[in-house]
Amino acid sequence: MGRRALRSESGRDRARNADGRARRDRERIAQTAARLIAEHGMTDWALAKHKAARQLMLPDSAALPSNDEIETALASYHALFAADAHDASLRAQRSEALAWMRRLAAWDPLLVGGVAAGWATAHSDIRLELVADDAKAVEIALANEGVRYAALPPREGDPGAQLLIETPRASLRIAILTPAARRNRPRRADEPRLSAAAVAALLDV
């Protein structure tokens, strides 16, 4: 084997080793960030990732995990460290979601996000997606029922008008989409979007 071939093979080995280290670092960051989110109620996942990297004494250039990797790490954390408590918390969140979905049935609500997927922490918002030609119609209906809410600026990746309702049991974040926006909303193939009937089936009620 010539020197050029040896150098090429050595370069491939270094690249594989670097890829392996980066993958392991992402996994460690995701696991530490998941613990911060679950135990300390951190809702800013970008901040949780950076804080996790600092706790692990990794360089600023370390590759950070994706949100999908954080979701996977959260599911693993719940299964390992808080299965019973998490099951109870998730059931309570889904029960609260179902009550509001029935209350808001006129706008074809769907449960999305962590409470739908099952990785939500006790600090997670309940996220509902409604459909309305005019978001003001939803706001007027809530106001007429005496429901206090706050209008929120949309977060990146969150389409439509955003409302926040604080209940004694949870924070409810509502996205109001037009029919066209819901039809064209990009989504992952594995992203759950649950109807009221599907949530009721999960709760067996």
Lowest mean pLDDT among 71-80, 94-103, 117-126, 183-192: 183-192
CA distances from 146 to 102, 142, 161, 165, 198 (A): 17, 6, 20, 12, 28
Whole-number pLDDT of residue 150: 95
pLDDT range class, residue 156, cuts 50, 70, 90: low
pLDDT range class, residue 31, cuts 50, 70, 90: very high
Whole-number pLDDT of residue 41: 84
Whole-number pLDDT of residue 151: 92
Query: Which of 192, 186, 193, 168 has the alpha carbon at shortest distance from 101?
Result: 193
| Beta-bridge partners for 91 | none
Query: Which of 195, 201, 185, 193 has the alpha carbon at shortest distance from 105?
Result: 195
HSE (side-chain half, CA atoms, 13 Å) at 160:
25
Quote the distance between the C-alpha of residue 81 and its chain's center.
Answer: 19
- Going along the chain from its start, the domains and CATH numbers come out as 3-81 (no CATH), 83-203 (3.30.460.10)
Instruction: Check pLDDT > 90 for residue 159.
Output: no
CA distances from 114 to 10, 18, 128, 165 (A): 44, 32, 11, 17
What tens digit of pLDDT does each residue of 124-140 get? Answer: 999 999 999 999 999 99
What tens digit of pLDDT does each residue of 44-96 get? Answer: 899 999 999 999 999 888 889 999 999 999 999 998 888 899 999 999 999 99
Selected residue with higher pLDDT from 43 and 98: 98
User: Is the CB of residue 10 less than 8 Å from the CB of residue 4?
Assistant: no
pLDDT range class, residue 205, cuts 50, 70, 90: confident
Instruction: Write the CB contacts of 46 (distance below 8 Å, at least 6 apart in sequence).
Output: none
Question: What's the average model confidence in pLDDT over 153-157?
Answer: 69
Lowest mean pLDDT among 8-12, 77-81, 177-181: 8-12
Q: How high does pLDDT run on average in the chain?
A: 88
